[in-house]
Amino acid sequence: MKREFVVIGLGRFGGSIVSELIELDADVMAVDIDPGLIEDYADIATQAVVADSTDETALRSLGIHNVEHVIVAIGENIQASILTTLILKELGVPKLTVKAQNDHHEKVLRKVGADKVVRPERDMGIRVANNVVSNNIIDYLELSEEHSIAELHVSGRIAGHTLIDLDIRAQYGINIVAIKRKGTIQVSPQADEMIEKDDVLIVIGSDLDIHNFEKKLFH
């Protein structure tokens, strides 16, 4: 059975969620107050509907309360975003993901019942900063405020050492969860695994420990 989602607000953020969910073979009802956007998404979404999401009766008549997960991607109109979240919560939507513009908006959304609050511009900014700060960090994924998963490119220095030689967990407080090598990926590598030049290490740990590890062993 296909998973069902409703996406409210078809700006750049909401629109890309709709397209990606469809790519991932989900059923998506796309909702926006702007008929022009609904026309654009008529051939993309499973169903595209013009509605004002601050109108409880309209949401009820669309049957949105029966859908397992609703994403509210209204950005600039903070009042509409909060009111929509409140109504959806009251209608009993099991899972609500909502986009916030700033700290205050995020705080209010959590108070009125958003299960997950996303801040795409801020999160992407953090990711890009962590990617560009070092040539060895290929990608960076925030797990929490302080912990991340990073992909590190082995350019020389630690090549030829085994994981046990480097005593990574004890010395640096991070764990190597996988090694990518020539198109293959080895998950949970053994302690006697030799690191080779051009390996990509996927590590998990605190941001501080990951940066310390990268500084000490990758320069």
Shortest distance in whole angstroms from residue 108 CB to ligand ATP: 16
Shortest distance in whole angstroms from residue 10 CB to ligand ATP: 5
CA dist., res. 185 & res. 180, Å (int): 4
Label residue 146 exposed, middle or buried (CB < 10 Å: 0-12, 13-18, 19+). Answer: exposed
CA dist., res. 78 & res. 34, Å (int): 17
Nearer of residues 98 and 217 to ligand ATP, judged by Cβ? 98
| Cβ–Cβ under 8 Å, residues 112 and 86 | yes
Nearer of residues 88 and 179 to ligand ATP, judged by Cβ? 88
| Cβ–Cβ under 8 Å, residues 45 and 56 | no
Question: Can you say whether the dihedral through the CA atoms of 150, 153, 157, 160 is positive or negative?
Answer: positive
| Of positions 18, 33, 86, 168, contacts ligand ATP by CB under 6 A | 33
- Binding to ligand ATP by residue 76, rule CB under 6 A? yes
- Binding to ligand ATP by residue 10, rule CB under 6 A? yes
Residues 54-73 that bind ligand ATP (CB under 6 A): 54, 73
Nearer of residues 89 and 161 to ligand ATP, judged by Cβ? 89
Label residue 93 exposed, middle or buried (CB < 10 Å: 0-12, 13-18, 19+). Answer: buried
- Binding to ligand ATP by residue 199, rule CB under 6 A? no
CA dist., res. 82 & res. 74, Å (int): 9
Shortest distance in whole angstroms from residue 157 CB to ligand ATP: 42
Q: Which of these segments, 75-83, 140-148, 166-174, 179-187, binds ligand ATP (CB under 6 A)? A: 75-83
- Interacting residues with ligand ATP (CB under 6 A): 8-14, 31-34, 37, 52-54, 73-77, 80
